[in-house]
Amino acid sequence: MIFWTGLDMKNSSIRQIEETLFEIPRSYKKGMRVPARIYASAELLQSMDDAVLNQLTNVAMLPGILKYALCMPDGHSGYGFPIGGVAAIDPGEGIITPGGIGFDINCGVRLAATSLTLEEVQPRVKDLVSALFRQVPSGVGTTGMLNLSPSQFDEAMTQGASWAVKNGYSGKEDLEYIEEGGCMQGADPSTVSQRARERGKNQVGTLGSGNHYLEIQVARSENIFDADLARQFDITGENRIYLMIHTGSRGFGHQVATDYLQQFLSVMQRTYKLSMPDRELACAPFDSVDGRNYFGAMNCAINIAFLNRQLIMHRVREVFSEIFHRSPDELGIKTVYDVCHNTAKLERHLVDGREREVLIHRKGATRAFAPGMQGLPEKYRQCGQPVLIGGSMESGSYVLAGIPRGSDAFFTTAHGSGRILSRHQAKKMYNGRELQKKMEQRGIYIQTASFSGLAEEAGGAYKNIDDVAAATEKAGLSRVVAKLLPIGNIKG
């Protein structure tokens, strides 16, 4: 059924296609090549700021975009491309744009299981959080745990997480459970600037700041919504403890994006006769020297982010081992899955009934492969990819699974809660130190490098994660499996 919603233009041009799917037609704005589609409940759509719709309809103008410009249920405005935005591009005729990936290339989330229970961890949670805060570099101006030579940095750019394993860090068994096996093919260090190398060299193995975090979580039995899938993801309830790491490629990725944004802007019109309504959507044909160079550099940044999360995982193992006087193996610390949020990847998808290669830009969105798809580890081949939706530090996070119906969205789903308050508004409404105390009273112990940053990340600054997860499932993007609740958190 197609009908007009009662929303204002944000809204008078938005058609409701299904309960959780809205469409803005091509006719809405000159230059749109495809319609824009938003996966959300009516309430979530109403909570999205107008800039989301403007940015999404700009995305619909990208040369080579196929089917729709898509926005996930946690969509919110960013720069150029909305957070939660997805664009599938014809790699032969279309473009690649750094704005469709973001500056924090392969910002992503890793979920790790432990064999510990809440009863064992709760009495030591302050010790754990304090030790993690000391041992995992976080915040602005901190340096990482590696001092890489130029040749080692080149190796890391092409090897990703496996570089850590080859160089004596723990986690060989983790690699299979990282998207792309923790090593993105097509990384080309020759396309990375000296400035990106200089900016990134100090930061491999650092958590960063802003919405990046390392969280200790608990799986309560009442929060297991699909017991079969949860068991396959090693989420068993019974107050078992899990760990979540949210970080990306740090300054290295930021500089790769900055370099190529500027490069694309300089050649977009002059060389390729392309124009976009927002400079942040500066682009170049994917099948061009500029496009391929950016793709090679971006893949290096994807790998540095994989390595970053792997090194932090190593430190987490060390800390838990020290606190509990047991080896990481005895503590059962193992990766459930590690997902990317900000990438462009060549994948094979059905488009108008024909399987073809497409370049999927996902900015603040998660790949969600369905059962049976290539690229999944054997363990998840029958059940689909684990999807991790990180919530705010107060609300908890969700684990979902990829499903066949996700093909309409190129097997993509939400990545987080999505902001409803700007950082500036959140700082006016919340006090970081008071928030820390209130959270501790509620059983969430937190240490931070910035109380101002903590206020920006208050739970009230985000959409209700339960609503986002419900809309995600209702929209057929992925299936809800379990919710994990925070008991300890370090923020940069």
Partner 1 sequence: MDYEVLDTITSADLAFRVLAGDRNELFRKGAAALMAIMVANYEDISMTRHHTIEMTDTSLEILYYRFLNEFLFLRDAELLLLLPCSVSITGTNGVLNLTCETRGERADRNKHSFNTDIKAVTMHHLRVEKTSSGWSATAVLDL
Residues at the contact surface with partner 1, assessed by CB under 8 A: 49, 51, 76-80, 83, 102-104, 139-143, 195, 198-203, 208-210, 250-251, 254-255, 257-258, 261-262, 265, 278-280, 282, 419-425, 449-450, 452-453, 456, 492
Taking CA atoms, 457 is separated from 54, 79, 140, 321, in Å, by: 25, 19, 16, 30
- In the complex with partner 1, the residue whose CB is nearer, 453 or 486, is 453
Largest CA distance in the chain: 64
**Alpha-carbon distance 441 to 290, whole Å?**
53
* Nearest distance from C-beta of residue 51 to partner 1, angstroms: 7
Q: In angstroms, rounded to a whole number, what is the distance separating the alpha carbons of residues 207 and 229?
A: 30
Residue located via tokens 């319609």: 35
**Torsion over CA: 435, 437, 442, 443 (sign):** positive
Least distance CB 416 / partner 1 (angstroms): 10
Q: Could you tell me the smallest distance in angstroms from the CB atom of residue 258 to partner 1?
A: 5
CB of 364 to partner 1, least distance (A): 8
Q: Which is nearer to partner 1, 162 or 203 (CB)?
A: 203
Ramachandran region, residue 278 (left: φ > 0; alpha: ψ -120 to 50; beta: rest): beta
Residue 450 pairs in a beta bridge with: none
Name the residue nearer to partner 1 (CB basis): 272 or 451. Answer: 451
Q: What angle do CA 83, 89, 92 make, to 5 degrees?
A: 155
Work out how close the CB of 211 gets to partner 1 at its nearest, in angstroms, rounded to a whole number. 8
Distances (CA, A) of 15 to 20, 23, 40, 445: 11, 5, 12, 44
Q: Which residue, 48 or 480, is less far from partner 1 as judged by CB? A: 48
Are residues 449 and 207 in contact, defined by beta-carbon separation less than 8 angstroms?
no
Give whichever of 115 and 142 is closer to partner 1, judged by the CB atom. 142
CB of 254 to partner 1, least distance (A): 5
d(CA 115, CA 104): 32
Cβ neighbours for 217, distance < 8 A, ≥ 6 positions apart: 241, 242, 243, 244, 396, 397, 484, 485, 486, 487
Is residue 76 among the annotated active site residues?
Answer: no
| Cβ closest to partner 1, residue 17 vs residue 420 | 420
Specify whether the CB–CB gap between 14 and 28 falls below 8 A.
Answer: no
Nearer to partner 1, 93 or 434 (CB): 434
Closest CB 189 distance from partner 1, rounded Å: 17
Choose the catalytic residue: 76, 314, 361, 415: 415
Tell me which amino acid residue 192 is.
V
Q: H-type helices in 96-249, by residue range?
A: 118-121, 125-135, 150-159, 161-166, 194-200, 227-232
Bridge partners of 390, per DSSP, are 416
251 with 199: CB under 8 angstroms?
Answer: yes
> Helix 289-324 and helix 250-267: axis angle, to 10°?
170
3-class secondary-structure state, position 400: strand
The least distance separating partner 1 from the CB of residue 204, rounded to whole angstroms, comes to 12
Interatomic CA distance for residues 462 and 71, integer angstroms: 17
Q: Of 427 and 479, which has the nearer Cβ to partner 1?
A: 427
Active site residue ranges: 415
